[in-house]
Chain A
């Protein structure tokens, strides 16, 4: 269960907060609010009722706080903007309009802390809460420090952490010092610093650092999940006395984090009816469109040649489950379905061992698990440890069959020993391996030789690297080594791009944009934070270092880009010959083809174009093909001939685009501008045509 939290943000809204300082083009308030909005929107996004938030304005034009109402002095120009409680998107929106610089500066920061303290005390009573007050200010308005000690004592008594983040406050640790600081500000900074120092729990920092740290993605911590708790065996303990068995626990070590996914929604205002949508005025719109989720309803149909449209509805109650066996549908009763499940018992047992040299990372099929001995079980601890050390010393891995619980499908796992080399504990890591069915046997030619048609083996060929190229590549790879690019203070190499610095750019860019939009609906989408794209290109330092090797490699490789046009199909066609090199066109006879038959339309169309001497022949071919397509569509019983018609159209279009004669096709159908620069038809027109065809 997540801990309960009560946090009150005190935001200085004094008139000086509207000014820009230290070369920034945004006001102190906007600068400070970057931090506050980020914290607030993160809390809203978490959508936890127990994470409560309050917001207090300091130096507000008005005064609205309980202390002032009780007639206490020194609480002027302090307003509670959001009572301590859960915070929603709506609260963010209303805060956005209230958090504006005022025309005053008469509020006292320490009084505001008292207001916040009392808010927390009243709200949390004596319950278990994480209590915190965050004050953001530029320290320009006067502070009365008479009651500092008292306030600090009260904060400590109530277990409240005080965080003060000041705009342009000096922070030697971070390395910031404001040169032309006013005396008043220096004084106020000192008062606040002393206050924080008196607190048991306190942080005093400068805003620049806080804002800078916002860019570092925060990773959602996930509690480890125990996937397996039971014996790991070698041999079968139920049959053989000699079999080994250790009680182990298996946890997930990696699990793919997914970006937030969008839900399907409808806009509530649009739903209200078209008349109202049209009369939407500015005011309604700025309140924002409300969305609501949609549900799905499923209905079922079967083919029925007698029904209109060839299909008819059937009741869900009349359906059974089943599987498709080719064209045949095989219904399965509930009990039949049970036997299709492979019956398994929870188990984890070693098949055998393999040397490290016979494993490569690319046979990993998925996420990694981690295996440790059961707690407080000495035999398991010692036994597993011995297995880990043995595997490590013999440079071996174990291969095991793993059934997570009764009834689940068996998996084959590779177990890798980690005698506390990576991470700080002794464990086995495991990765799933493929089964026979998971391997596709495609054939590829060898990379280190060329086989000729006649069966000769060539070691020198334009497809094979020359000695020069091999050498240049070797130098390039060595020069571009990331593992010793940087060194730390002690001269030890620092790893570049370790996993804990690789942030998923999709997730964090999207989350960042969602938070920004939650605060400000008008906010344009900013570029991804620099840290997210840090590893999208090689480090400049390395490129500079390897400059000579890169140049040498480029020279030795002599790679040439194929011009765009030559990549198309045209030009290649003339050279098409069977293995023997026989000239089929010659066999086809002297007379170029003039007619296209429906039954052999595609080959004849292609052949007619290939031998066409002029555009008129091309047009004639296209015209004939058009006729064939029309006839296919006309003659088709239901949609039986549509695929054939579609394929004919498809081939005709591709061929004419390749010939750069899309106009010919457009007389019949349409080629869009995207597909051929020469065409004048837009995508919409083409789409309209396609719809009218189907």
Chain B
């Protein structure tokens, strides 16, 4: 039995309460079924002999399976509650769940891995097919007679209906190089269109990933335009493009396909939708909000029961106990605030009143130049907003005009923001982001620095006075001098690539490490070595030395010189002050007349004291103070403290 006091868990609970909206949003689960066509052309490797890289040696089917494998590996860890499955079609063999059929059910459809949260076994099986090319069941053999697309779509329909009945997001990823599966067969085309409509009505979104082979165009008009739907609420301008994958100069088919699939990795989920954005009294447009930035952390550990044949997940249940360890029923429990050793109780409806400080809204209160935002105006991540025409027709053009103006004038909006009913109000700065892809910069304007993010407006939460800490430190202004001038070339020569911080280039090393270890454990593979893992967050030390080593060495010399003279200057000044002090006051009144208090000894004095062996004259309290000010642990007896201090002086002065 594990005990935990309710109050100990408060901070966590509190956090959960605050971010409730976000947790709600995350529980919306996603199910993706890959439908990959198996055909002679899909199995064909690119012709050899041409100037191709080794990496571009994949047949379309191999590229598709590799993508699926990578997708599975990523989502099993990053989205552990989401489902995935793989359906091969146009196969000679047919398989649906436990029944291996041919001629009945779904002929030429082979359900390679059923739609479910993947297990280690699924990953292993797919891996052996993809990496070792092991195909013991001869799955990758094309049918002599092609499958009916209506059948393939209905098969997918049944898989979603039974396995992911109430998932918020269900998506069918079709990978094929055949833009015209039924040719002139009108009946077959019509039945496919009808089955596609069924999928639409079921709430399944079809994402097509066409592959174009050797210069041919994949023509959607031949078949797929009758199959693919887009949310009718979405406007003409927001049409999601169907992007064709192909191998072209420098880009392999595999990487092209991976990039197209990765862009659909997570279904687009709104954090809030149809929020009223009040620009002025009686002037409102509607916006949707998205959480485009969100800190990913390793999953929490769970408890595993090892008493059975297989390791099993242990689910925890909690019961609440009162002071007499009697089990308390849910109906008895009340919420109250601690107050000076007692509790203050509010009725639930009173609590609701207290929390309600206004309905959900984004209300503009005015504008400021972006430069007026204080440097320390950050407390948590920002939310991306984008217009929707669903509540107010014309929202998009107004939003666009505002976005344009804020960019042009480098201004930001200041607004009062309540994300959802009962959410705590916050103040936000509304900051515009520029277009995401490089080719949008044809007007020659600077990119705005964040090409990895879409164009739109961001709600940047401003800190409240309550969130700002007064740090009372003395760090006086110091005019720039030759040291500053000499540092210029160092900074100028160490710009990050493309003069920006692109987060996509910096995977989180601790997260990647966690993923690697977990995957190796689950698949019973060899444990990785941390040294071997690539860590993009480690600076390129050799390059730094090569590029600015000379400048830095020169600069360090100047620094040492300047520091010495400052030290001397201070020592002289201090002596003069001490003399003045000493003269003015009778010695007896001063508690420590011998030396300035420990903490005020500067490094030079400390070194001198060490050399003259006078450090031991310092009291224990003084030693502790000095050590603490140097960030050294100040625990131990006087002898220990002296040793620590001497060591510090040797190393640092």
Contact = CB atoms under 8 A, between A and B. Distances in A.
B506 A435 contact: yes
A104 B376 CA distance: 58
A591 interface: no
A327 B118 contact: yes
A293 B161 CA distance: 46
A382 B395 CA distance: 53
B145 interface: no
The interface residues of chain B, by DSSP majority, are classed as: mixed
A535 B465 CA distance: 13
A532 B357 CA distance: 9
Contact of A436 (B266, B488, B506): B506
A497 interface: yes
Interface stretch (A3-11, A409-417, A617-625): A409-417
Contacts of B320: 264, 294-297
Given A390-B488, A435-B507, A518 B339 contact: yes
A242 B328 CA distance: 67
Nearest to B440: A446
A280 B552 CA distance: 81
B355 to A, nearest CB: 7
Contact of A480 (B367, B376, B549): B367
Interface in A379-393: 379, 381-383, 385-387, 389-391, 393
A142 interface: no
B119 to A, nearest CB: 4
B381 A579 contact: no
B495 A436 contact: no
A44 B392 contact: no
A314 B463 CA distance: 47
Interface string B328-355: 1000111111111111111000110111
Contacts of B315: 300-302, 311
Contacts, number: 842
Contact of A343 (B325, B328, B433, B530): B530
B559 A379 contact: yes
Contact of B304 (A329, A352, A377, A448): A329
Q: Looking at B117, B478, B652, which has the most chain A CB atoms within 10 Å of its CB?
A: B478
A378 B605 CA distance: 12
B469 interface: yes
A289 to B, nearest CB: 7
Interface stretch (B63-71, B90-98, B533-541): B533-541
Given A294-B322, A578-B196, A578-B228, A444 B386 contact: yes
Given A366-B378, A394-B492, A437-B78, A358 B449 contact: yes
Given A224-B472, A558-B394, A646-B166, A477 B367 contact: yes
B629 interface: yes
A553 B280 contact: yes
A292 interface: yes
B367 A600 contact: no
B600 to A, nearest CB: 7
Given A435-B511, A465-B400, A606-B201, A265 B476 contact: no
A492 interface: no
A325 to B, nearest CB: 4
Given A264-B320, A267-B332, A603-B198, A242 B549 contact: yes
Contact of A499 (B198, B468, B539): B468
A421 B384 CA distance: 30
Contact of A461 (B121, B237, B429): B237
Contacts of A401: 537-539
A22 interface: no
Contacts of A690: none
Nearest to A536: B416
B460 interface: yes
Given A243-B552, A320-B306, A324-B299, A330 B518 contact: yes
B462 interface: yes
A558 B401 CA distance: 13
B102 interface: no
B204 to A, nearest CB: 10
A634 interface: no
Contact of B336 (A262, A387, A390, A446): A262
Contact of B454 (A46, A341, A442, A528): A442
A367 B379 contact: yes
A299 to B, nearest CB: 5
Categorize the interface residue count of chain B.
35 or more
Contact of A360 (B117, B449, B556): B449
Contacts of A416: 375
Contacts of B452: 439, 441
A82 to B, nearest CB: 14
B18 interface: yes
Contact of A368 (B376, B499, B545): B376
Given A224-B471, A473-B398, A267 B339 contact: no
Contacts of A373: 475
A252 interface: yes
Nearest to B191: A587
A501 interface: yes
Contacts of B48: none
A90 interface: yes
Nearest to B221: A580
A481 interface: yes
Interface in A29-62: 44-47
Interface stretch (A158-166, A425-433, A668-676): A425-433
B518 A539 contact: no
A31 to B, nearest CB: 24
B487 to A, nearest CB: 4
A318 B397 contact: no
Contacts of A340: 298, 513-514, 517-518
A96 interface: no
B147 interface: no
Nearest to B13: A261
Contact of B321 (A295, A352, A410, A429): A295
B173 interface: no
B587 interface: no
B452 to A, nearest CB: 6
Nearest to B310: A329
A414 B412 CA distance: 21
Interface in A244-275: 244, 247, 249, 251-267, 270-271
B567 interface: yes
Nearest to B459: A362
A694 interface: no
Interface in B405-425: 405-406, 408-409, 411-412, 414, 416, 424-425
A478 B9 CA distance: 49
Contacts of B316: 298-301
Contacts of A214: none
Contacts of A298: 1-4, 316-318
A265 B193 CA distance: 59
A550 B506 contact: no
Contacts of B503: 363, 412, 433-436, 438-439
Interface in B213-264: 220-221, 224-230, 232-233, 235-241, 262-263
A557 B563 contact: no
A412 B366 contact: no
B178 interface: no
24 contacts: A247-B631, A258-B15, A271-B326, A291-B342, A291-B343, A300-B305, A319-B306, A326-B80, A358-B501, A387-B487, A420-B475, A422-B374, A440-B292, A442-B292, A445-B239, A447-B403, A451-B241, A477-B409, A506-B424, A536-B365, A539-B365, A560-B393, A587-B194, A602-B202
Given A241-B553, A365-B295, 19 more contacts: A45-B340, A240-B544, A251-B473, A258-B18, A327-B118, A341-B510, A357-B449, A358-B450, A361-B377, A364-B460, A366-B381, A435-B296, A446-B440, A448-B400, A461-B237, A557-B401, A562-B391, A587-B190, A643-B166
User: Which 5 residue pairs across A and B have the least CB separation, nearest first?
Assistant: A358-B449, A229-B631, A362-B458, A580-B225, A420-B477
